[in-house]
A and B are shown apart, each in its own frame.
Chain A
Amino acid sequence: MTGSLTVENIPVDQLDLDPENPRIRKFLEQYGGTPSFDHMLLALGAHSSDPESGSSVTFQSLKQSIRAQGGVINPIHVDKQPNGRYRVVEGNTRVAIFKSFNAEKIKGSWSSIPAFVHEKLPGFKADAIRLQCHIVGPRPWDPYSKAKYLDHLLNHDNLPLSTIVELCGGRRKEIAEYIDAYRDMEKYYRPILNSDSDFDPARFSAFVELQKPNVKQAVLEEFTLTNFAEWIRDRNIDPLNTVRALPRILKNPQAKDKFLAVNAREAIKLLEVPTAPGLANVSLEQLLRGVIEKLDTMGWRELDVIKADLGSNKAQLLVEAHEVLTEVCEKITEKTP
C-alpha cells in the first residue's frame, strides 16, 4: 500500500470530507440530506467538551494544538477521485479544522495540508487505514512517561509553560499538575527506595492526586512529603484511589492511627456509616435491587456533589462496590477452559 505513496500539499478547497467517516455517517443517518460544512463540524465534535475539563483529545484541544504548531505533524490520507478532487479517508477532523481556520481568517498557512495521496483506493484498504488509525491507534505513553517528557520540556529545554500548554491543545491545569507530580515523585519517592529497580511508575497517579490543594494541605498540616512518599512505598495508601480520602482520614484520630498502622482502606472503614440494623437478614437479591433502584434514581445534583469530592465516603464506597461487582461479574461470565 505504501509503495507508490507520495506526500503532497493538497489545497483544502479540493478536499471533500468523507461521508463514510463513522462520525459523519452517524450524523447523516440521523438527519439525512447533504450536510453543510457547519453540520460536518458539528458531526466531528467541534462544539463538544471544554478542553480544560477532560483529559481526552477533543476537537477543541486538537484545534489549539494545530494552531500552536502551525500545522499538522502526521499527513492525512486522501484518495484522488476521477473528477480531480480528493476524498479524505483519514484526517477529516484535521481538514475541518484547517477549513475553519480559513473561514475564521486565523493567521497562518491553512490553505493546504500535507497528505498521503492514494489513487483508486480499494474499499478494504481505506478500511484498513481507518482501523489502524482509530481502532488500533498509536500507543499512548503511560502517565509517568508523559509527565517526565513535559518536565523535560519545561525544566531542561526551558520551553515556557504557556507554549507547552498551547502545543498540547490547552488543559493547563492538567499539565501543571503532571509536571508538579513528576517533580514531587522524583524528589520524595525515588530517594527513599532501596534501588532504582524498586521504582514503580504506576504509583505516579497518587502524586497527581497529591497536587489537589486539599490533599497536599492535609498532609503538610502534620507530616511531610517524604512521609507521603513512604506511605506510597509501604502501601499505606492502597489502593491508590484512597489518596483522595486522606484529608478525612488524617482529620479523624482513630482513622489516622489505623491508616499509619495498616492502610487507607482499613482506615476508611472507621469513617463509614455503620450498617443499618436488619440488613444482615436481607437477601443478596433484595440488597442488589435496592442498590440498583437507589443508583437509578440518583439525580445529577447528587452525582455532581460526589464528583466534587472523590474522597467522600459515598464516592469511595461506590468505587469499591464497582471493583467488587466487576470482579464477581467477570467470574460468573468467565468461560470454563
Chain B
Amino acid sequence: MPESAVHLALVQSLVQWVKSNCLIEKDGLLLVDDPAQMASSKPPSINGYFPDVYLRGLRLRSILIGEAKSAYDLESRHSRKQLASFLIHLLSVERGTLLVAVPWHVVPRAKSLIRAIQRETNSMSVQTIFLDYLPG
C-alpha cells in the first residue's frame, strides 16, 4: 500500500473509533482532515500543526485529538514536534485525550515515543489511546 493510502486508512480507523466510542451527536463536534471536506470543517491549527481528527466536547470541557502516523513517518522531527504540540494543547483542557493510529508493528515504538514526549513536555496527565491491529 502506498504511504498516502496507509495514512488514509489509519485516519479512517481513527474516525471509526471515535464514532463507536464517543457520544458525538449529543455533545461533540467532530472535525476530520479529509481532502473532501470544506476548509471550515477541518481541524484547527495547533501551534502550526493540523491534527487528523479533532473532537471537541460541547458540554464537557474535553478535547480528543486523533493522529495517524505511518511507520515511515512516526519518528521524524516533524512528527515529534507535532505530537509535542498536541500534548501541550491537551494539557490545557479538563479532559484531554490523544488517540493514535499506527500500523500494528510499530505500536510499541509509538508508545515509547509518546511516553518520552510526555515526559519532556510534562504532559503525563494527558490520556493516550493506541489503536491496535491496524494494517500498514
B113 at interface, CB cutoff 8 A: yes
The interface residues of chain A lying within 8 Å CB-to-CB of B77 are: 323-324, 327
Interface residues of B in 106-129 (CB under 8 A from A): 106-109, 111-113, 115-116, 119-120
Inter-subunit contact B112/A200 (CB<8 Å): yes
Given contacts A239-B75, A324-B77, A337-B35, contact A198 B108 (CB under 8 A): yes
Q: What size tier do the contact residues of chain B reach?
A: 10 to 19
Interface residues of A in 237-263 (CB under 8 A from B): 238-239, 262-263
B45 at interface, CB cutoff 8 A: no
Q: Which residue of A lies closest to B107 (CB)?
A: A197
A298 at interface, CB cutoff 8 A: no
Q: Which of B75, B115, B116, B119 has the most CB of A within 10 A?
A: B116
Given contact pairs A198-B112, A199-B108, A327-B78, a sample of 17 additional A-B residue pairs in the complex whose CB atoms are under 8 Å apart:
A197-B107, A197-B108, A198-B111, A200-B112, A202-B106, A233-B112, A234-B115, A234-B116, A235-B112, A235-B115, A235-B116, A238-B116, A262-B120, A323-B77, A324-B77, A331-B78, A337-B35
* A117 vs B78: C-alpha distance when bound (angstroms): 51
Min Cβ gap A325→B in Å is: 11
Could you tell me which A residues sit within 8 Å of B by CB distance?
197-200, 202, 233-235, 238-239, 262-263, 323-324, 327, 331, 337
* A331 vs B75: C-alpha distance when bound (angstroms): 16
B76 at interface, CB cutoff 8 A: yes
Interface residues of B in 12-50 (CB under 8 A from A): 35
The interface residues of chain A lying within 8 Å CB-to-CB of B113 are: 235
Min Cβ gap A71→B in Å is: 35
Mask for B78-120, Cβ within 8 A of A = 1, else 0?
A: 1000000000000000000000000000111101110110011
* A239 vs B75: C-alpha distance when bound (angstroms): 9
- For the complex of A and B, list the 7 residue pairs with the smallest distance between their C-beta atoms, beginning with the closest: A235-B116, A200-B108, A200-B109, A198-B108, A337-B35, A202-B109, A327-B77
Q: Which residue of B lies closest to A262 (CB)?
A: B120
Q: Which residue of B lies closest to A193 (CB)?
A: B108
The interface residues of chain B lying within 8 Å CB-to-CB of A324 are: 77
The interface residues of chain B lying within 8 Å CB-to-CB of A337 are: 35
The interface residues of chain A lying within 8 Å CB-to-CB of B112 are: 198, 200, 233, 235
Q: Which residue of B lies closest to A240 (CB)?
A: B75
* A238 vs B114: C-alpha distance when bound (angstroms): 12
Min Cβ gap B28→A in Å is: 26
* A198 vs B110: C-alpha distance when bound (angstroms): 10
The interface residues of chain B lying within 8 Å CB-to-CB of A200 are: 106, 108-109, 112
Min Cβ gap A203→B in Å is: 8
The interface residues of chain A lying within 8 Å CB-to-CB of B106 are: 200, 202
Q: Which residue of B lies closest to A200 (CB)?
A: B108
* A262 vs B121: C-alpha distance when bound (angstroms): 11
The interface residues of chain B lying within 8 Å CB-to-CB of A323 are: 77
Q: Which of B75, B106, B111, B112 has the most CB of A within 10 A?
A: B112
The interface residues of chain A lying within 8 Å CB-to-CB of B35 are: 337
Q: Which residue of A lies closest to B108 (CB)?
A: A200
* A238 vs B77: C-alpha distance when bound (angstroms): 12
* A331 vs B112: C-alpha distance when bound (angstroms): 26
Min Cβ gap A130→B in Å is: 23
Inter-subunit contact A327/B76 (CB<8 Å): yes
The interface residues of chain A lying within 8 Å CB-to-CB of B78 are: 327, 331
Min Cβ gap A41→B in Å is: 38
The interface residues of chain A lying within 8 Å CB-to-CB of B109 are: 200, 202
* A200 vs B108: C-alpha distance when bound (angstroms): 5
The interface residues of chain B lying within 8 Å CB-to-CB of A238 are: 116
Q: Which of B76, B108, B120 has the most CB of A within 10 A?
A: B108
* A189 vs B69: C-alpha distance when bound (angstroms): 25
* A200 vs B116: C-alpha distance when bound (angstroms): 14
